[in-house]
Structure 1
Amino acid sequence: MISGDKKKEFYQALLERNAAYEGLFFAGVTSTGVFCRPTCPARKPKYENCEFFLTPQEALLASFRPCKRCTPLSHPDQVSELVQKLVQAVEENPEKKWREKDFRELSIDESTSRRQFKKRFGMTFVQYARARRMGLAMKEIRSGKSVIDAQLNSGYESSSGFRDAFSRIMGESPASAQENQLLKASWLDTRMGPMIAVADETHLYLLEFVDRRGLEKEVEVLRRKKKAAIIPGKTPPMQTIEEELHLYFSGNLIKFTTPVAFTGTPFQTRVWDELRGIPAGETRTYAEIAHAIGKPAAVRAVAGANGANQLALIVPCHRVILSDGTVGGYGGGSARKKWLLELERGGNVWREDSKNL
C-alpha cells in the first residue's frame, strides 16, 4: 500500500512534471477517469482527485483508462511501435476479446507481443486487454449497473466466464510468491450484491463487496504482504462465511464466527478488535473508538484504520459514524451503510428500493 507521505511525494512530482519519476508511478484522476505518467502536460488535478499506482495493471483494474495526452502505455521514448499499435487497438475497442486471428490481421506475432508487453509492463498483452475489459466492467458495476449488464457489455456471454475472468485477474501470482504460500479467491453471491472472499485452508483474509472502489488494490496489498499466490478456489472458511452471510442478510445472525486473520499494523489490529466489540444495532464515533483504545488524540488514525479494514461486515466498520450523528463515509457506499445499520436494528430492509444497493 502506498503511504500518505509517498502519495504527497508523487503528487509533488506530478505537479512539477518530474521526469525522474517516469516508470515509478502512475496517477489516476477520479474526476476524468484517466491515468497519466508523472510528466503529463495536462492541467493538474487536485490532490483529493488523485489515486496513485505502482503499475499500469493496478490503474487499469481500478477502472482508469490511459490518458490520450501523455499515453502512459505507449510513450514513443519508452516502448516499441508494436506495443503502441496494440494499445491503440485496445483503446479503439476495449471490450474486444483477443484471439489468434486478431494478431494475424494486424500482422503481429502473438508470442512477440506477449514478450514485449511482459518486459515493459510486467504483464502479457492478453492480461492487459483482459484487465482493461474487467476495469470497464467494474466501473459499470460501481456506477449502478447490474452485474449481468456489466458482464455482457465487457464481452462475457456467461456469468461463470465473467466470474472466472475476475478471479484470474485477482489471482495473478507475483514473481516472489512461494510455493507454500497459497490463498484462494471466490466470488460469493449475496442478497446485497456480489462479494469476493480470499482465504487459506483455515482463515479468511479478505471479504469485500465487488463494487468497492480500490478492491483490486486491496487484493494486491494482501498478496504482497503474504508473499502468496492467489488462485480461484474454495476453502472451508469460505464455505462457512457464505453460510453466515446468508443468515446475516436474512436477519438471523448478529455475530460472525468464521476464523479470520488480520494483516494490518498493530495499531490497525487494535482498532479492528475494538470494532468487533460494537454490538449489532449500535454505533460508535471515531472519537469514542480512539478513547476506547487509549489513544484519544488518534481520531484521524482510527478513521484511517477503519478505512483500511479488509473484512467487511465481520469487522463492522459500518457501525462507526461521525460525531454529529451522520453516517459518514463507507467503502461500500453510504446508502449501503445506512441499509446495514437498519438491518441490524431489526428494520424491514428488503424493500424494492434495496435492489439498487
Structure 2
Amino acid sequence: MITAEHKMEYYQALLDKKSEYEGIFYVGVKTTGVFCRPTCPARKPKYENCEFYETAQEALLASFRPCQRCRPLSHPNHVSPVVQKLVEAVETYPEKRWKEQDFDELDIDASTARRQFKKRFGMTFVEYARARRMGLAFKQIRSGQAVIDAQLSSGYESGSGFRDAFSRIMGAAPAKSADSRILRAAWIDTRLGPMVAIADEEALYLLEFVDRRGLEREVERLRQRTKSAIIPGVTAPIRSIEQELTAYFDGSLSVFTTPLHLIGSPFQKSVWAQLVQIPPGETRSYSGLAGALGKPKAFRAVAQANGANQLALVIPCHRVINASGDLGGYGGGLTRKSWLLQHEKQFLSNQRQH
C-alpha cells in the first residue's frame, strides 16, 4: 500500500525525473487518462491530479492508458528504431567505415544517430561502429592473423591510423596486445533501471546501475587494474547474469551462480564473502559483520569494503544497514535499496521455505 508520505516522495521524484525510482512506482494522471514512469519528459501534472501505483498492471486496471512519450510498458531505456536500425546495419557489415552519405542512404540524420547512441551506450554511433570493427580486428590478431590483415579487413588503409584507433579503443597497440585481456561491456535493462555488466569469457567483473555516481571512475579503475581493453560485446557470463537478473526480479531466484572475478584486498574479499552469506529477506549491520570477521572495531573498514563492491545484487551489499535500523548508504540509491529489501523479504524469503 502506498502511504501519503510515499505519495509526496514519489511526486517530488516525478518533478525531479529521478531515474532511481524507475520500477518503483507509476503515476496515473487524472486529467489526461494516461500513466507514466517517473522520468517521463512530459509536462508535470499537479499533485492533486496524480494517482500512484506500484505496478503498471495496477495503473492499467485503474483504466489509465500508457503514455506515448515515456512508454511505461517498455524498458526504461527502450531502444529507438534509429538505434535498432543502425545496430543491425553494423552487424550486417561490421567492417564498414561510416561516412555522412551512409546515413543519408538509410534516411537517418547523422546528428540524431550521434545523440541517441550517446544516450543509450555512452558513445557516439561512429565510436560504436569503430569499437565493433576493432573488436573483430583484435579477434583476428589473437587467432594468429597478421596485423596488416586485421588492419585492412577492419577498413584502415593507414597502419598508423589503425594503431591509433586500436590504442584508443583497446588501451594498447596491436604489437603489444598478444597477452592483453579483453573485457566486454553490455547494457542490461532491469525493472529498477538499466545496469552495465562487464565480463570476459569466464567470469563477471562488474555489475552496476548505469546511473550510479562515479561509475565512470569504477570502469576506468577496472580497466587499469586488469590492464584490459573494455569494448561493447556479450560473453557467456553476461548472458548468464542477464537471465539470472530476470529471474531475480520475477521473484523466482535467490542465489546467483554466474561465475565472478573479484578484485580487491584480502580484507575486502573477506567482507564480500560475508555478504553472500546473508540470506535474502534478512539484513546485517556493519558492526555485526565486523564482529563475524573477528574484528569488532573494524566496522568503518567493513563499510568501506561494502562500498567498494562492484557486483551489485550478486554480492548483496544492499542487505547491510546501520545498527540503528536505518538503511545507511547504497551506491544505487536508497530508494532502490529499500525496494530490493522489500522485494527479497516478500518473495525470495518465501522461496527458501519451500
Q: TM-score, normalised by structure 1?
A: 0.53
Give the count of matched residue pairs.
Answer: 209
Q: Is the 8 A contact 2:251 2:347 kept in 1?
A: no
Q: Could you report, residue by residue, the CA deviation over 1:31-69 in whole angstroms, capped at 9, with x for unpaired residues?
A: xxxxxxxxxxxxxxxxxxxxxxxxxxxxxxxxxxxxxxx
Q: How does 1:60-71 map to 2 (within 5 A)?
A: none
Shift in CA distance, 306/343, structure 1 to aligned 2, threshold 3 Å: same
User: Distance in 1 between the 2:270 and 2:227 partners?
Assistant: 23
RMSD between superposed Cα atoms in Å: 3.2
Q: Cα distance, 1:142 vs. partner?
A: 6.7
Q: Is the 8 A contact 2:197 2:207 kept in 1?
A: yes
1:268 partner SS: helix
Shift in CA distance, 142/156, structure 1 to aligned 2, threshold 3 Å: farther
Residue in structure 2 matched with residue 328 of structure 1 by the alignment: 328
Residue in structure 2 matched with residue 174 of structure 1 by the alignment: 171
Letter in 1 for 2:187: W
Residue in structure 2 matched with residue 163 of structure 1 by the alignment: 120
Q: Cα distance, 1:346 vs. partner?
A: 1.2
Q: How does 1:32-71 map to 2 (within 5 A)?
A: none
User: Distance in 1 between the 2:258 and 2:219 partners?
Assistant: 19
Q: TM-score, normalised by structure 2?
A: 0.53
Q: How many percent of aligned residue pairs carry the same amino acid?
A: 51
1:328 partner SS: coil
Q: Cα distance, 1:163 vs. partner?
A: 3.1
Residue in structure 2 matched with residue 184 of structure 1 by the alignment: 184
Q: Could you report, residue by residue, the CA deviation over 1:157-196 in whole angstroms, capped at 9, with x for unpaired residues?
A: 7866643444969994334884431100000011111000
Greater RCO, CA 8 A, separation 6+: 2
Shift in CA distance, 158/318, structure 1 to aligned 2, threshold 3 Å: same
Residue in structure 1 matched with residue 276 of structure 2 by the alignment: 276
Q: Is the 8 A contact 1:184 1:233 kept in 2?
A: yes
Shift in CA distance, 267/285, structure 1 to aligned 2, threshold 3 Å: same
Q: Is the 8 A contact 1:178 1:228 kept in 2?
A: no
Residue in structure 2 matched with residue 132 of structure 1 by the alignment: none
Residue in structure 1 matched with residue 256 of structure 2 by the alignment: 256
Q: Is the 8 A contact 1:148 1:159 kept in 2?
A: no
Q: How does 1:1-357 map to 2 (within 5 A)?
A: 145=39, 162-166=119-123, 172-175=169-172, 178-179=177-178, 180-346=180-346
User: Distance in 1 between the 2:114 and 2:223 partners?
Assistant: 29
Residue in structure 2 matched with residue 75 of structure 1 by the alignment: none
1:197 partner SS: strand
1:183 partner SS: strand
Q: Which consecutive unaligned segments of at least 5 residues does structure 1 have?
A: 1-138, 349-357
1:346 partner SS: helix
Q: Which consecutive unaligned segments of at least 5 residues does structure 2 have?
A: 1-16, 22-37, 41-75, 83-110, 132-167, 349-354
Shift in CA distance, 290/211, structure 1 to aligned 2, threshold 3 Å: same
Q: Cα distance, 1:295 vs. partner?
A: 1.4
